């Protein structure tokens, strides 16, 4: 039995902002603070508990929740035909208890204009992605402006999933969980017939039934003296507008209704409805009903017959049933015999004849259209996922320190950075700081480290839910700056950051955290040290010229991106030398990595070192990040032999470990006539890099002179 609160319809809650009522004006100073208005939007087709959970989380981020619902034509254009009509969807969303206002016909693409029109502070969406018909993110504009928050998607349910359940329904999923038909159902929407991969947003993942989720949905309010306790029972499967209209009609039977909904167990529903029901299991149906504003309490697994004991236990004043068929009990008796005898049974006409069967028929009638919709939606999502995966793969070799070396050359040989150039790195510093804090907070979950100060949970939620850390003026948002300071002062956050190598934390993260007070100051200008450490993704080919003595050097940064290698390999068949940068500290991996940074670098080095284009090109290895490598070898317990078992040196022998990794690269050179030079470097150390660059210049000049003599 789950209590869901006493949901009365007050004048101030029906589509008006409670902050503007006379009662609000008389509140305490704390209550008179400006109300935070939150915007959500979506299709909300076949409104389910996943939608309700998103709206519950969104409402918790503010005070007043406005929900925009798209029209049928907009949905058909971008996704395919909806199952529910727009009028049905409008009313279904209004019935969700966390919703304060519904905007009908909301635009499919969320813009700043929409947020401003409804005076909303920000919009909230789940951690999946919504795409337009041409594959663009519908929230791109509000994300860039910092007016976007993210909530966690409810695993195991989606509209696509529910359509799939109805297309592939089988009675076996209530009697034999291992049947092939059940497996076919759970695989629906994963695209196995079309794609090698599948979308985690469209595809079905197991829904974990937990008491915590029910507690989050329930309000827990007891009936009060004077309330009319009304009992209804049924399957309430695939909660739809017919159910909403019925419960609303029941709710209107009293000035002070307390509506209790009894939900039958899955096996009971399957007994009296037969065929392929229920489509949703008892836990899912419980959440769907609990989200309805007309419901006060839910009885999970209610007895099929409404007995005298049940009526007395809940002190029921009225039992209601719709104009639908009343199924007999197992013994053939009338399940409503007792309330009939007591004269408290009432048939309620909601004026809506829609049933779950009718919805299934809608799906079956348009089966091909809905199958095409599901496949089209997933195909777009898979394309996005594959792009994100490529970025993740490229990231492994993209953090070796090449860009830092280029910046050092500018500092050492080209008079450094002007004030304007330093300022241009400011947004990137903010973004590095922001993303690093997100990674630390998520890493705390991986490492099972809690916040030392529980009040910092609100700051953690702020960081994790934000998609941008800067406003339109490219300055750090005050709420983000405040959260940074509070979180970095938390012992739990510092402990997790110190173990960042266990969850792929940016190498410069702690440096920026330690510089927080300077970075968040109003007149902050990045220092050269900041510029050396800030991570800016390299794309394309970047040329840097510098002069040493009387010689002009041209250095080309080609990036490590796999997608760009074919473009640049053939462009440099007449260069004097290739400088290959390796992150020494990338020898270990995390639980999320299929391949380490070192393995990725070795593969790339092989493809370049032994490429026929570079037969006469010198190779110079920069074994970079020696400072971080030393720290990891000496203090982390992540000894080299744990990841490279063939290493026979002592656990804490830094030099032996570095030499071993270097030998792994040099051994890949199949041309004995082509020497491979190497230097151990710390790219962020300007003094040592000055010496290294001098040696590098001399080596290149020496090779160049030798080549000239041969000619």
Is residue 687 part of the annotated active site? The answer reads no
User: Three-state SS string across 181-197, please?
Assistant: HHHHHHHCCCCCCCCCC
Q: Is 186 part of any known ligand binding site?
A: no
Cα(455)–Cα(446) distance, integer angstroms: 21
Backbone φ/ψ region at 259: left (φ over 0), alpha (ψ -120 to 50), beta: beta
Please give the C-alpha separations between residue 122 and each of 145, 278, 312, 318, in angstroms, as whole numbers. Answer: 10, 38, 48, 43
Q: Is 400 part of any known ligand binding site?
A: yes
| Stated length of the chain | 711
Nearest 5°: CA angle at 604, between 497 and 635?
30
Instruction: Quote the DSSP letter at residue 256.
Output: S
Q: Is 533 part of any known ligand binding site?
A: yes
Cα(538)–Cα(403) distance, integer angstroms: 8
Q: Which two tokens stand for residue 580?
A: 């290959």
Of 114, 468, 561, 681, catalytic: 561
Q: Is 419 part of any known ligand binding site?
A: no
Q: Is 341 part of any known ligand binding site?
A: no
Is residue 404 part of the annotated active site? The answer reads yes
Is residue 709 part of the annotated active site? The answer reads no
Q: Is 532 part of any known ligand binding site?
A: yes
Q: Is 373 part of any known ligand binding site?
A: no
* Residue recorded with tokens 């493809």: 607
Cα(658)–Cα(684) distance, integer angstroms: 18
Burial of 546 from C-beta contacts in 10 A (0-12 / 13-18 / 19+): middle
Q: Is 404 part of any known ligand binding site?
A: yes
Q: Is 235 part of any known ligand binding site?
A: no
Q: Is 508 part of any known ligand binding site?
A: yes
Q: Is 515 part of any known ligand binding site?
A: no
Cα(586)–Cα(601) distance, integer angstroms: 9
Q: Is 625 part of any known ligand binding site?
A: yes
Is residue 621 a contact partner of residue 680, using CB atoms and an 8 Å limit?
Answer: no
Q: Is 530 part of any known ligand binding site?
A: no
Q: Is 403 part of any known ligand binding site?
A: yes
Please give the C-alpha separations between residue 216 and each of 15, 52, 211, 316, 416, in angstroms, as whole numbers. Answer: 24, 11, 9, 26, 56
Kind and range of the H or E run holding 216: helix 211-217
Burial of 355 from C-beta contacts in 10 A (0-12 / 13-18 / 19+): middle
Q: Is 632 part of any known ligand binding site?
A: no
Is residue 164 a contact partner of residue 375, using CB atoms and an 8 Å limit?
Answer: no
User: How many Cα atoms within 13 Å fall on the side-chain side of residue 126?
Assistant: 21
Question: How is 461-528 classified by DSSP, letter by letter?
Answer: HHHHHBS-SB-TTSSBPHHHHHHHHHHHTSHHHHHHHHTGGGTT--TTHHHHHHTHHHHTSTT----H
Of 56, 149, 535, 630, catalytic: 535
In this structure, is the dihedral angle defined by the CA atoms of residues 680, 682, 685 and 690, taken in order, positive or negative? positive
- The contacts of residue 489 (CB under 8 Å, 6+ apart) are none
Q: Is 590 part of any known ligand binding site?
A: no
User: How many Cα atoms within 13 Å fall on the side-chain side of residue 603?
Assistant: 14
Is residue 562 a contact partner of residue 393, using CB atoms and an 8 Å limit?
Answer: yes
Is residue 237 part of the annotated active site? The answer reads no
* Residue recorded with tokens 């462009």: 571
Q: Is 683 part of any known ligand binding site?
A: yes
In this structure, is the dihedral angle defined by the CA atoms of residues 83, 87, 88 and 94, taken in order, positive or negative? positive
Burial of 165 from C-beta contacts in 10 A (0-12 / 13-18 / 19+): buried
User: Three-state SS string across 354-381, please?
Assistant: CCHHHHHHHHHHCHHHHHHHHHHHHHHH
Cα(45)–Cα(159) distance, integer angstroms: 6
Q: Is 399 part of any known ligand binding site?
A: yes
Cα(319)–Cα(197) distance, integer angstroms: 50
Q: Is 561 part of any known ligand binding site?
A: yes
- Listed in order, strand segments (DSSP E) in 275-337 are 297-300, 318-321
Of 356, 397, 404, 681, catalytic: 404
- The contacts of residue 708 (CB under 8 Å, 6+ apart) are none
For the chain, percent helix, then strand, then coil, each to nearest 5? 45, 15, 40
Q: Is 694 part of any known ligand binding site?
A: no
Cα(98)–Cα(295) distance, integer angstroms: 13
Q: Is 557 part of any known ligand binding site?
A: yes
Is residue 309 part of the annotated active site? The answer reads no
Nearest 5°: CA angle at 168, between 164 and 172?
125
Of 161, 399, 588, 600, catalytic: 399
Of 150, 557, 631, 653, catalytic: 557
Q: Is 14 part of any known ligand binding site?
A: no
Question: How is 87-153 classified by DSSP, letter by letter?
Answer: HHHHHHHHTBTT--EEEET--SS--HHHHHHTT-SEEEEESS--B-TTS-BTTHHHHHTT-EEEE--
Q: Is 538 part of any known ligand binding site?
A: yes
Mark the binding-site residues, compressed into ranges.
399-404, 507-508, 532-538, 557-561, 624-627, 683
Mark the binding-site residues for GTP, compressed into ranges.
399-404, 507-508, 532-538, 557-561, 624-627, 683
Mark the binding-site residues for Mg(2+), compressed into ranges.
403, 538
| Active site members | 399, 404, 535, 557, 561
């Amino acid at each position: 039995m789950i209590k869901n609160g006493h949901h009365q319809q007050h004048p101030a809650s029906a589509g008006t902002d409670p902050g503007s009522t006379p009662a609000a004006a008389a509140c305490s100073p704390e209550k008179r603070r400006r109300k935070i208005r939150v915007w959500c939007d979506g299709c909300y087709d076949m409104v389910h508990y996943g939608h309700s959970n998103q709206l519950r989380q969104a409402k918790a981020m503010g005070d007043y929740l406005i929900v925009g619902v798209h029209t049928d034509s907009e949905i058909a254009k971008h996704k395919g035909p909806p199952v529910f009509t727009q009028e049905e969807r409008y009313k279904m969303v209004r019935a969700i208890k966390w919703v304060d206002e519904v905007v009908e016909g909301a635009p499919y693409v969320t813009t700043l204009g929409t947020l401003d029109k409804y005076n909303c502070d920000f919009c909230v969406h789940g951690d999946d992605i919504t795409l337009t018909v041409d594959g663009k993110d519908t929230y791109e504009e509000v994300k860039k402006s910092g007016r976007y928050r993210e909530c966690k998607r409810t695993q195991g349910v989606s509209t696509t999933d529910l359509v799939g359940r109805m297309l592939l329904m089988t009675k076996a999923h209530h009697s034999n969980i291992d049947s092939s038909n059940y497996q076919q159902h759970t695989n629906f929407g994963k695209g196995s017939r079309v794609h090698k991969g599948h979308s985690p947003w469209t595809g079905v993942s197991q829904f974990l039934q937990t008491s915590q989720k029910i507690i989050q949905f329930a309000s827990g309010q007891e009936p009060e003296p004077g309330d009319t306790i009304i009992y209804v029972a049924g399957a309430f499967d695939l909660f739809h507008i017919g159910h909403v209209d019925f419960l609303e009609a029941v709710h209107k039977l009293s000035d002070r209704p307390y509506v209790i909904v009894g939900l039958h167990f899955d096996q009971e529903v399957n007994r009296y409805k037969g065929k392929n029901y229920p489509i949703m299991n008892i836990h899912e149906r419980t959440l769907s009903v609990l989200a309805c504003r007309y419901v006060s309490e839910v009885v999970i697994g209610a007895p099929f017959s409404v007995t005298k004991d049940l009526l007395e236990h809940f002190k029921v004043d009225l039992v209601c049933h719709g104009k639908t068929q009343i199924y007999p009990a197992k013994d053939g008796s009338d399940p409503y015999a007792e309330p009939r005898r007591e004269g408290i049974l009432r048939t309620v006409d909601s004026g809506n004849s829609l049933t779950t069967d009718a919805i299934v028929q809608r799906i079956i009638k348009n089966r091909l259209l809905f199958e095409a919709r599901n496949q089209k939606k997933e195909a777009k999502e898979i394309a996005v996922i594959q792009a994100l995966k490529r970025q993740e793969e490229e990231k492994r070799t993209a953090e070796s320190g090449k860009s830092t070396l280029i910046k050092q050359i500018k500092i050492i040989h080209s008079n450094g950075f002007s004030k304007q150039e330093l300022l241009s790195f400011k947004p990137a510093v903010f973004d590095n700081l922001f993303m690093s804090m997100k990674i630390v907070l998520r890493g705390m979950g991986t490492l099972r480290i809690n916040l030392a100060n529980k009040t910092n949970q609100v700051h953690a939620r702020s960081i994790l839910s934000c998609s941008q850390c800067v406003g339109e003026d490219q300055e750090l948002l005050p709420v983000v700056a405040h959260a940074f300071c509070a979180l970095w002062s938390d012992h739990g956050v510092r402990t997790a950051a110190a173990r960042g190598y266990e969850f792929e934390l940016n190498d410069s993260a702690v440096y920026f955290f330690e510089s927080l007070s300077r970075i968040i100051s109003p007149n902050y200008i990045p220092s050269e040290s900041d510029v050396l450490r800030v991570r800016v993704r390299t794309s394309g080919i970047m040329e840097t010229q510098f002069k040493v003595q009387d010689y002009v050097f041209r250095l080309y940064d080609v990036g490590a991106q796999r997608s760009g290698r074919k473009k640049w390999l053939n462009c440099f068949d007449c260069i004097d030398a290739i400088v290959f940068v390796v992150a020494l500290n990338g020898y270990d991996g995390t639980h999320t990595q299929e391949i380490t940074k070192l393995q990725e670098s070795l593969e790339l080095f092989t493809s370049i070192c032994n490429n026929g284009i570079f037969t006469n090109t010198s190779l110079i290895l920069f074994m970079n990040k020696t400072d971080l490598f030393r720290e990891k070898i000496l203090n982390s317990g992540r000894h080299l032999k744990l990841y490279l078992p063939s290493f026979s040196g002592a656990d804490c022998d830094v030099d032996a470990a570095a030499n071993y990794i270097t030998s792994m690269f040099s051994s890949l050179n199949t041309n004995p006539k082509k020497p491979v030079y190497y230097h151990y470097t710390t790219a962020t150390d300007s003094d040592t890099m000055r010496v290294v660059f001098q040696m590098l210049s001399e080596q290149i000049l020496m090779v160049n002179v030798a080549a000239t003599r041969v000619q």
